[in-house]
Chain A
């Protein structure tokens, strides 16, 4: 019996026992209040504000679809979309491949696995923090650690973060470096694959390469799919790294101007909250579309072994 069926039966047994339900709702209350007060209501408010002209100081005034129409003729928004898509489409696959490789290496039952696992997970704990983003600025500055390293070989590196041609790459690198969470999920997924399959394959004389492509990878597709969906959604919403590394302005020359950063600047620095709210709903649609495509495409490549 699957876990979900067990839960369903548990629910049936408890039906009618209102007292227990009340207690459950009481315990749920803090979360429920948060969901309604901090997520649902603000979302509805932002939907309304997206149809208004609102500068945070005067009350909002209704202006119909103006904000949404403006989005189509805003070159900085087009640039922000280009930057964000580049970031998502490059950093997510890179990070997942890297996480999978590390997970495969760690899955060999080596000694001190727990220690290595922790060490490799460490960047994920730190990576989204402000401190690491500041460190990144120091490492990749014109006279930063990385250029000092290059100078030992007689190479004069550019100002990686202050040059519009390389600034986004440093943020992508920062994202790939935080591969810990998908790595742990891959590791758990690898452990789920029955060793029976490998034993049978070895008996039949399959090479380790064949084992990887015919057993490991297909068995892992649900996990890859899960990681992919999570990482794409997360990457579209990335904000902190670009905000700190660029000093809050998405520079140089808007080369690190993520969608979320531009939204923030429009809403809070330029006091154009109506437009920013419309942008926020634009992002909802984009992420929704990506996720829907992902789920649709998953039928063709994700293999469920049950």
Chain B
């Protein structure tokens, strides 16, 4: 049967009723013109979600014509889901986006120019980083840096002194890790395996004068830089200072609260400073934030930067650009919102908010804020990770495992890794 025959077969009355229904639906938005609904999406822990929902409630109370629909998603599959929604022209209005994807989404014209958000009190470094050709495509959700979370309780139990993190080098780090493992009981390690965190690795390469990604997006890392880190990871495993790649690959899949640092089986681990509180709280022991070690001969120059935890961005296709920016402005700049959010997305970017909440912080949070403000004077400028850098963490973990499992030599792994990063960055 052809389609028109089928249409004829349908009762006229049903068709008419359906058409009436469709025209009614078309009328609805016009009737509700004054009521605006925004969609906001993020990933993260329960505490982040609860704090954000509380802050949004304050916003809704102050703006009765705006309703906010929140979606808290798991990180696994987050970018996948988001990019599909963008492709389907069904993107949320306000979005928490991993740093590595901001450039890619911005270059595709997917992000709104956030020129109505008041940036006067916000951190200038991260704000400038997200200004692409005069378009303010994002604002830092909060500030963060790399950190070594050291478990002082385990250091003390092993009889090892905490290092001076303003002068220590990677050689010190390896030696201390091995010493702690040796002097502690079974199953306690000096460090988490080094194959877990690509961001610390990227900083290590930077300390050697090259970049996994330079600010202009080019890959300048040399095979020696990468091989040196891989061999250090092997040395620390051979020396007993850390567990092997099998344990490492299991810990990578776990939330921070179940990691070796948080379960008190590794005395040191590489983290983002925004995770300090979660790890310290889960551990329950005396946790101390340390700066990353420096290269031998360049003590005290860890080349660390203070960057954004993630970025807030908005869809360029939003039907409510003003309301979306009003909500973002509230989350970033309102002191009451800040008192709800505290450090759930890193240290607040707004200096007034930071000052207002500091007296109210719990001990772990206060330590993290203090660590970052001490680091400020020695920090190097931050920049937005370039387009295509979203593969860095996964690529690093894969190639260091290729080496640690003995499938590739350090040089081959390094060369192949550079080749893949370059293809990813379009070079």
Query: Which A residues are within 8 Å of any B CB, using their own CB?
Result: 18, 21-22, 25-26, 55-58, 137, 141-142, 158-159, 161-165, 247-249, 251-254, 264, 268-271, 273
Contact status of A252 and B401, CB under 8 A, knowing A141-B250, A270-B390: yes
Q: Are B247 and A270 in contact (CB under 8 A)?
A: no
Given contact pairs A25-B6, A57-B110, A253-B405, enumerate 17 new A-B contacts (beta carbons under 8 Å). A22-B1, A22-B9, A26-B9, A55-B104, A56-B84, A57-B109, A58-B108, A141-B250, A142-B250, A162-B248, A247-B253, A249-B394, A252-B405, A253-B398, A268-B79, A269-B79, A271-B83
Give the most central of A18, A21, A55: most B CB within 10 Å.
A55
User: Can you name 14 A-B pairs with beta carbons within 8 Å?
Assistant: A21-B1, A22-B6, A25-B6, A55-B108, A56-B83, A56-B86, A57-B108, A142-B250, A165-B405, A248-B77, A252-B245, A253-B405, A253-B407, A268-B80
Chain B residues within 8 Å of A161, by CB: 250
B128 close to chain A: CB less than 8 A? no
Q: Are A163 and B108 in contact (CB under 8 A)?
A: no
B68 close to chain A: CB less than 8 A? no
Measured CB to CB, the nearest residue on chain B to A164 is: B405
Q: Are A270 and B250 in contact (CB under 8 A)?
A: no
Measured CB to CB, the nearest residue on chain B to A18 is: B1
B363 CB to nearest chain A CB (Å):
32
Cα A53 to Cα B351 in complex, Å, equals 43
A148 CB to nearest chain B CB (Å):
15
B250 CB to nearest chain A CB (Å):
5
Q: Are B247 and A253 in contact (CB under 8 A)?
A: no
Query: Which B residues are within 8 Å of any A CB, using their own CB?
Result: 1, 6, 9, 76-77, 79-80, 83-84, 86-87, 104-105, 108-110, 245-250, 252-253, 390-391, 394, 397-398, 401-402, 405, 407, 424
Measured CB to CB, the nearest residue on chain B to A141 is: B250
Contact status of A57 and B247, CB under 8 A, knowing A163-B405, A270-B391, A271-B104: no
Contact of B407 among A164, A264, A271 (CB under 8 A): A164
Chain A residues within 8 Å of B80, by CB: 264, 268-269
Q: Are A270 and B249 in contact (CB under 8 A)?
A: no
Cα A273 to Cα B247 in complex, Å, equals 33
Q: Are B246 and A163 in contact (CB under 8 A)?
A: yes
Q: Are A56 and B1 in contact (CB under 8 A)?
A: no
A219 CB to nearest chain B CB (Å):
43
Q: Are A253 and B402 in contact (CB under 8 A)?
A: yes
Contact status of A251 and B397, CB under 8 A, knowing A21-B1, A25-B1, A141-B250: yes
Cα A251 to Cα B247 in complex, Å, equals 13
Give the most central of B1, B105, B398: most A CB within 10 Å.
B398
Q: Are A162 and B83 in contact (CB under 8 A)?
A: no
Contact of B401 among A18, A253, A273 (CB under 8 A): A253
Q: Are B6 and A159 in contact (CB under 8 A)?
A: no
Contact status of A252 and B109, CB under 8 A, knowing A25-B1, A269-B79: no
Cα A162 to Cα B243 in complex, Å, equals 13
User: 10 tightest CB-CB pairs across the interface, nearest first?
Assistant: A57-B108, A159-B246, A268-B80, A247-B253, A56-B87, A162-B246, A162-B249, A56-B83, A58-B108, A57-B110
